[in-house]
Amino acid sequence: MTSKHFVTGGTGFVGSNLILELLGEPRTEIYALTRAAGQSAETRLKSALRHAARAAGHDEALDDAIAERCHAVEGDIHRENCGTSAGSFPRPDQFWHIAASLRYEDRYAAEIFKTNVEGTRNALALARSGGVGRHFNYVSTAYVSGSRMGVIHEEVGSGQSANNPYEASKMQAEALVHQSQDLGPRIFRPSIVIGHSITRGVSSGFSGLYGFIKRVLRLRQLLDRIQDGLASRAGLRVIADPAALLNLIPVDVVARQMVRISRSPSRAQVFHITNPTPPLAAEVSRVIFRELELPQPVMVEDSSGMNWIEQKVEEGLGFYKSYFRGTRLFERENSDWALGVSVPEPGYRLDSATVSEYVRWYTDVLRGTTDLLPVAEAAAA
């Protein structure tokens, strides 16, 4: 029997990998809400999926499945009923709401809430108007834990404070989904999603770890622009907890676990899609600094005695600072029960050599786009 899935955010990083995972089941049809931005919704969707397939190491064989079993539904989560109608696609067995704004800055707060909260409200309305066979699956973030540290449970929380508008918007969206018990809601909370566990590739949306790498890279370029060689001479102090863990998880692992949980009989509603054996944040930052040919940062507890450059680095890390402060242990009881895990997941293993490969993959991409060059040289290139 054919299973039908409706997906928002199918052209994004997690969404496209989820669709590739769903296509692994031969009798699956995908209906993906897609904006027509500069090209038709159909063209945009299939181009994004083919790109994601290459990044994930799939050959052209998967292109046939993309062409035949993926269908764009033109629309936009910012509009009422997502700018479409339930009659424009078959009643899905599973509804996946993944589209989101990954911005976090205060100055974008209105836009972030519009996309993440109102967009979720519109997605719920669309699902309700057409009906959902089994579940409304919402992809949230493990960082709805906000400023809370220690063990983070798989439950819809309340009372925790958000570090930024992004986290606040995801908390509100989770609450909306949780209230929609008529749709069989499930909330998936991935941690920091990185590239494919085998290819290390990322097809789109260089946020999270990649945003951090890019910031460090820009810092290096800026220092060298101000003074040749300054970056390699200026050892930096950064505020970090040496015991903090950086919960990185490869995108294919996220997609695989979400799809498997969606097919499970679990009655739980919140699932942490996180790495149970994450690397130390300090080790990851050491690898990043080494790969970017910067002196190793010195971890300190506070900003006393920092020079101007170090203070600016501290400010510039913005959102990413919370990754390096305090330790969160994400409980996975619901996820592990639903997955029936007994075999270790190789994608969890993120030692220094593996993290280096992820970082190098991204810096190679940047080199290919001249992003590693100083601006003046890039302009002349």
Partner 1 sequence: MTSKIQPVFIVGTGRCGSTMLSNMIRDHSGILSVSEFLVSVTDFAGRIAKTFPEGRPVDAHHVWDVLAGFHPRQTVMLRHGVEMDEMLYPLASTSRFTRQTGVPAILYVTLPHLTPDHDTLFDELHDYVMTFQPDLAFRQYVRVFEWLMARFGKQTWVERSGGSLRAVPRLAKSLPGARFIHIVRDGRDCAISMSKHTGFRMMMACTIMNQVLGYDPYETEERTGVEDLPDQFYHLLPEHFSSQAFANLDAPADLFGHYWSGEMMRGLKALDELSRDRVLTIHFEDILAQPEPCLRRMVEFIDPSLADGGWVRRAAGTIRPARSSWRALPAARQSALTDACAPGFQALSRYGFQRDPDAVPPSTPWFAGLRQKVRQATTLTKFVGVRPALALAKSRLRRAGTAAVSPV
Q: Is the torsion defined by CA of 140, 147, 268, 113 positive or negative?
A: negative
Shortest distance, CB of residue 119 to partner 1, whole angstroms?
18
Shortest distance, CB of residue 144 to partner 1, whole angstroms?
20
Kindly state the helix (H) or strand (E) to which residue 141 belongs, with its residue range.
none
* Cβ partners under 8 Å of residue 304, min gap 6: none
CA 256 – CA 51 distance, rounded (Å): 18
Q: Which is nearer to partner 1, 37 or 67 (CB)?
A: 37
Q: Which stretch binds partner 1 (CB under 8 A): 43-51, 60-68, 188-196, 306-314?
A: 306-314
**Residue 307 lies near partner 1 (rule: CB under 8 A):** yes
**Residue 204 lies near partner 1 (rule: CB under 8 A):** no
Q: Which is nearer to partner 1, 295 or 346 (CB)?
A: 295
Size of the site for partner 1 (CB under 8 A): 32
Provide the pairing of β-strand 298-300 with 150-152. Answer: unpaired
168: left (phi over 0), alpha (psi -120 to 50) or beta: alpha
- In contact, 325 and 240? CB cutoff 8 Å: yes
Residues 102-141 that bind partner 1 (CB under 8 A): 103, 105-108
**Residue 214 lies near partner 1 (rule: CB under 8 A):** yes
Shortest distance, CB of residue 145 to partner 1, whole angstroms?
23
What 3-state DSSP class applies to 273?
Answer: strand
Shortest distance, CB of residue 170 to partner 1, whole angstroms?
17
Residues 308-337 that bind partner 1 (CB under 8 A): 308-309, 312, 315-316, 318
Shortest distance, CB of residue 228 to partner 1, whole angstroms?
6
Q: Which is nearer to partner 1, 119 or 185 (CB)?
A: 119
Query: Which amino acid is residue 334, in one-letter code?
Result: N
CA 361 – CA 281 distance, rounded (Å): 19
Strands (E), 76-139: 94-97, 135-139
Helix axes 281-291, 352-368, angle to 10 degrees: 40
Shortest distance, CB of residue 244 to partner 1, whole angstroms?
23
Q: Which stretch binds partner 1 (CB under 8 A): 56-64, 101-109, 137-145, 241-249?
A: 101-109
Which parts of 154-229 fold into alpha helices (H)? 165-179, 209-226
**Residue 375 lies near partner 1 (rule: CB under 8 A):** yes
Binding site for partner 1 (CB under 8 A): 103, 105-108, 211, 214-215, 218, 221-223, 225-228, 230, 233, 307-309, 312, 315-316, 318, 371, 374-376, 378-380
